[in-house]
Chain A
Amino acid sequence: MERRSSEDTGTVKAPESRRQRKKRSKENKTRTVHANLLYDAANKGEENPNRHYANNKIKTTKYTVLSFLPKNLFEQFHRFANVYFVFIALLNFVPVVNAFQPELALAPVVFILSVTAIKDLWEDYRRHRSDKEINHMDCLVFSRAERRYVEKYWKEVRVGDFIRLRCNEILPADVLLLSSSDPDRLCHIETATLDGETNLKQRQVVRSFFDLDCEFDPLKYNSVIECEKPNNDLNRFRGYIIHRSGRRDALYKENLLLRGCTIRNTEEAVGIVIYAGHETKAMLNNNGPRYKRSKLERQMNVDVFWCVIILLVLCLFAAVGHGLWMFQYGDKRPVFDVLSPEGTDLSPIMSAIYLFLTMIIVFQVLIPISLFVSIEIVKICQVYFIHQDMDLYDEETDSHLQCRALNITEDLGQMQYIFSDKTGTLTENKMVFRRCTVAGVEYSHDANAKRLAMYQEMDSEEEECTSHGSTLPRRDSVTSHQSARVVLRSQSTKSHRRTGSRAEAKRASILSKHTAFSSPMEKDITPDPQLLDKVNDCSSQMDFMRFHSQPMSQLPSDLSDTIDFFIALTICNTVVVSSPDQPRHKVRMRFELKSPVKTIEDFIKRFTPSRLTSGSNSSSSSSLITNRSSNKGCSSLLSSPSAESTLTKLHEERSCGGLENAFSPVPPCYDGKASWNIEEGELRYEAESPDEAALVYAARAYKCSLVGRLPDQVTVELPHLGKLSFELLHTLGFDSTRKRMSVVVRHPLTDQITVYTKGADSVIMDLIKPPNTGNSKGKRQKKIVCRTQNYLNLYAADGLRTLCIAKKILSQEEYACWLQRHLEAETAIQGREELLFESALRLETNLQLLGATGIEDRLQDGVPETIASLRKAGLQIWVLTGDKQETAVNIAYACKLLDPEEEILTLNADSQEACALLLEESLHYIQAKFLCSSADQTTKAFHSSFAPFDLYPSSSLSSSSSHAAPFLVHRLGLVIDGRTLAYALDKSLEDRFLAVARSCRSVLCCRSTPLQKSMVVKLVRNKLKVMTLAIGDGANDVSMIQVADVGVGISGQEGMQAVMASDFALPRFRYLQKLLLVHGHWCYSRLANMILYFFYKNAMFVALIFWFQFYCGFSGSAMIDQWYLIFFNLMFSAFPQLITGTLDKDVSAETLQQLPQLYVNGQNSEEYKPYMFWMNMIDAFYQSLICFFIPYFAYADSDVDLFTWGTPITTLALFTILLHLGIETKTWTWMNWLSIAFSIALFFTVALCYNASCPTCYSPSNPYWTMQRLLKDPLFYLLCVITPVAALLPRYFYRACQGTLFPSPVQVGRQLDKLPADTRRNILSLSRVKVGSPLSPKPPFLSLSKASPKGCNKNDQRSITGSKTLEATQGHADEEKGRSCLSGPTDSEMHLSDLYTLVPSDIDTLPYTKDAPQPAEELQPPSTKVSECLDKTLEPSDVSLSGWITSTPLPTPADSVQLNLLPDGAPQCVRYTRNSEERLKPDHAVHPAHRTEQEVEQQLHTKL
Chain B
Amino acid sequence: MMASSYNAKEEDGHPSGASGHGGPGVVKSKKPDNTAFKQQRLPAWQPILTAGTVLPAFFVIGLIFIPIGIGLYVTSNNIKEFEIDYTGVNMDSPCYTCAKNFSWNNTTPCTCSVDFTLKQPFESNVFMYYGLSNFYQNHRRYVKSRDDSQLNGGRSLTDPSKECEPYRKNDELPIAPCGAIANSLFNDTLELFHIDSNGSRNAIPLVKKGIAWWTDKHVKFRNPGGNSNLTQAFLGTTKPVNWRKPVYELDPSDPENNGFINEDFIVWMRTAALPTFRKLYRIIQKKSSTTPTLPSGKYTLDIIYNYPVLSFDGRKRMILSTISWMGGKNPFLGIAYITVGSICFFLGVVLLIIHHKYDTRNNSADIPN
Contacts and interface: CB of A to CB of B under 8 A. Distances in A.
Contacts of A1262: 148, 220
A195 B6 contact: yes
A1145 interface: yes
B140 to A, nearest CB: 4
Contact of A1311 (B4, B48, B72, B314): B48
Interface in A267-322: 282-283, 285-289
B208 interface: no
A1218 B116 CA distance: 50
6 residue pairs, one from A and one from B, having the closest CB atoms: A1299-B50, A334-B312, A341-B165, A127-B13, A1205-B273, A384-B18
B16 A402 contact: yes
B166 interface: yes
B34 interface: yes
A1200 B9 CA distance: 67
B26 A1301 contact: no
Interface string A591-613: 11000011111010100000000
B94 interface: no
Among A386, A1193, A1373, max chain B CB count under 10 A is at A1193
Interface stretch (A668-676, A699-707, A952-960, A1034-1042): A1034-1042
A1022 interface: no
A900 to B, nearest CB: 30
A1285 B61 contact: yes
A59 B309 CA distance: 74
Most chain A CB within a 10 A radius of its CB, from B9, B270, B343: B9
A1282 B337 contact: yes
A1395 B1 CA distance: 55
Given A336-B142, A1367-B365, A1199 B10 contact: no
Which residue, B7, B19, B270, B347, has most C-beta atoms of chain A within 10 A? B7
A339 interface: yes
Interface stretch (B197-205, B248-256, B274-282, B294-302): B274-282
A1314 interface: yes
B368 to A, nearest CB: 8
Given A340-B166, A388-B39, A735-B4, A1116 B10 contact: no
B312 A332 contact: yes
A336 B14 contact: no
Given A288-B14, A1111-B138, A1199 B215 contact: no
Contact of B5 (A387, A1035, A1118): A1035
Interface stretch (A140-148, A1125-1133, A1220-1228): A1220-1228
20 contacts: A195-B3, A286-B9, A336-B139, A338-B166, A338-B167, A380-B17, A387-B17, A400-B31, A403-B17, A600-B10, A600-B11, A1145-B44, A1197-B274, A1264-B219, A1275-B326, A1278-B326, A1300-B52, A1300-B355, A1311-B362, A1343-B361
Given A285-B8, A1061-B9, A1346-B361, A341 B16 contact: no
Interface stretch (A152-160, A1288-1296, A1426-1434): A1288-1296
Given A1198-B330, A1310-B48, A383 B18 contact: yes
B107 interface: no
Interface residues of A, number: 168
A1346 B360 contact: yes
A1289 B50 CA distance: 14
B359 to A, nearest CB: 5
B32 to A, nearest CB: 4
A1145 B47 CA distance: 12
Nearest to B3: A1035
Contacts, number: 447
B333 interface: yes
B354 interface: yes
A218 interface: no
A1199 B277 contact: yes
A43 interface: no
B140 A1303 contact: no
B149 A1256 contact: yes
B2 A733 contact: yes
Contacts of A1374: 362, 364
Nearest to A1148: B46
Contacts of B285: none
B360 A1112 contact: no
B3 A1036 contact: yes
A1229 B44 contact: yes
Contacts of A340: 166
Contact of A336 (B44, B68, B136, B328): B136
Interface in A90-145: 99, 123, 126-127, 130-131
* Residue among B18, B149, B347, B355 with max Cβ neighbours from chain A (10 Å): B18
Contacts of B311: 332, 334
A1195 interface: yes
Contact of A343 (B143, B166, B213): B166
A1111 B275 contact: yes
Given A1204-B273, A1278-B72, A1286-B336, 5 more contacts: A338-B145, A600-B10, A1197-B278, A1199-B328, A1303-B50
A1110 to B, nearest CB: 10
Interface string B225-256: 00000000000000000100000000000000
Report whether over half of chain B's contact residues are helix, strand or loop; otherwise say mixed: loop
Interface in A1090-1128: 1111-1113, 1115-1119
A377 B56 CA distance: 37
A1206 B277 CA distance: 15
B131 interface: yes
B31 A393 contact: yes
Contacts of B114: none
A400 B38 CA distance: 14
Contacts of B105: none
Contacts of A126: 13, 15
A1292 B54 contact: yes
B17 A402 contact: yes
Contact of A1299 (B48, B61, B140, B149): B48
Contacts of B154: 1256
Contacts of A398: 29-31
B274 to A, nearest CB: 5
A1190 B50 CA distance: 28
Contact of B364 (A235, A689, A1371): A1371
A1395 to B, nearest CB: 6
A1061 B7 contact: yes
Nearest to A1353: B360
A342 B51 CA distance: 63
A1282 B9 contact: no
Nearest to B358: A1334
B171 interface: no
A341 B139 contact: no
B33 interface: yes
A2 to B, nearest CB: 23
Interface in B324-369: 325-328, 330, 332-333, 336-337, 340, 343-344, 347, 351, 354-355, 357-365, 367
B49 interface: yes
B71 to A, nearest CB: 10
Interface stretch (A208-216, A1050-1058, A1405-1413, A1472-1480): A1050-1058
Contacts of A1298: 49
A1282 B69 CA distance: 10
